[in-house]
Amino acid sequence: MAGASAAKIGSFLSKKPYAPPSWASHLSPAPSQTFSLGHFPTPIHKWNLPNLPSGTEVWIKRDDLSGMQLSGNKVRKLEFLMADAVAQGADCVITVGGIQSNHCRATAVAAKYLNLDCYLILRTSKLLVDKDPGLVGNILVERLVGAHIDLVSKEEYGKIGSVVLADLLKRKLLEEGRKPYVIPVGGSNSLGTWGYIEAIREIEHQVQISGDVQFDDIVVACGSGGTIAGLALGSNLSSLKAKVHAFSVCDDPGYFYHYVQGLIDGLHSGLDSHDLVSIENAKGLGYAMNTTEELKFVKDIAAATGIVLDPVYSGKAAYGMLKDMASKPAKWEGRKILFVHTGGLLGLYDKVDELSSLSGSWRRMDLEESVPRKDGTGKMF
């Protein structure tokens, strides 16, 4: 259904009317339009992870394949947020994130697709805030597409906050005669939540046409709250009824229960976040920081299954999930689990130095002088 419409020439990057799934029709406010920014539906396939509990199956929803420059879970939120920006007559967008923010990169690309300027406020260390941020990973794409980048230190960010920082820049742009539209951190507001309510409709349809797979659980990383709000609300309201498990990679679970509650209250759902989602802490050393064990896990899973996880989000979620399975196998035995890969591959480039000792080996090919040339002689040159 979605695949057929995506195949039509000119449908990508087009604006289209939006009607919520019937089971979400009572949620309000509901968006009336969306931009086609991603390649959907993304595939679901079996993920042959090692050392699973008895009878446990893990399947993977490949939202990392929703695009290239514009990829991952952020695309689903931006389809609604960018449609709203255009509807409000914006000529530029503002958003905020970490120095290797996948959301900021996706926003920068989406803005250019729609002929809007993009202003990014990026958080970095106090030591690097006055230096050129370089051309690694997400930053490279942002700078290639011409995003305007303002750097702030982690200390400044912590003291002032993302909302005030974005508002400061918005006021400056308004004074210059611009028409800015602010997108929150991670695209996680009530409007952005529709991205993963819609993803549940997509998964529900994939389950219905497959006929032989029913998921008991959905597992996903949590970084700003919008993805888990949409998945948890959608799973509860739809026919899926899968239990949603979120592994938080930055703030504590208590923060996210409260934040998700605000998002679903914003849609007048009348539901309690504690009833919809189970949130566990998987931040380890902290946001975008990894232990050697976590990075080795990312490498080992790639080598074993071909699935490359990002170290900031899905890598920590999968690591947390398998640790939980090892310590509490009875909780997971015999269950069918859908793991949502939220993308973030470009973040790996920021970990090159740490990964160098863990990555695969190489060697110089051994070419003896006796290797025959194409013409059959023994000389190589």
What string of H, E and C letters represents the secondary structure of 226-258?
HHHHHHHHHHHHCCCCCEEEEEECCCCHHHHHH
Burial of 57 (0-12, 13-18, 19+ CB in 10 A): middle
101 catalytic per annotation: yes
Please state, in angstroms and as integers, the Cα–Cα distance from residue 134 to each residue in 35, 70, 129, 166, 246, following that order.
31, 20, 12, 23, 33
**Tens digit of pLDDT for each residue in 32-59?**
999 999 999 999 999 999 999 999 999 9
How long is the chain? 381
Round to whole Å and give the CA distance between 240 and 70.
28
**Given the residues 101, 188, 273, 314, the one annotated as active site:** 101
pLDDT at 68: 83
Residue 1, pLDDT above cutoff 50: no
pLDDT at 359: 83
Hey, what amino acid is at 139? I
Hey, what amino acid is at 162? S
Residues 293-319: what's their mean pLDDT? 97
pLDDT level of residue 375 (50, 70, 90 thresholds) = low
**Tens digit of pLDDT for each residue in 293-305?**
999 999 999 999 9
pLDDT at 377: 59
Round to whole Å and give the CA distance between 292 and 219.
23
Percent of the residues in the chain that have a pLDDT greater than 70, as a whole number? 96
- Two tokens at 260? 């998700």
- Check residue 345 and report its DSSP letter: G
pTM for the model stands at: 0.94
Residue 144, pLDDT above cutoff 50: yes
The answer to whether 124 touches 133, Cβ cutoff 8 Å, is yes
The answer to whether 166 touches 123, Cβ cutoff 8 Å, is no
- Two tokens at 83? 């449609």
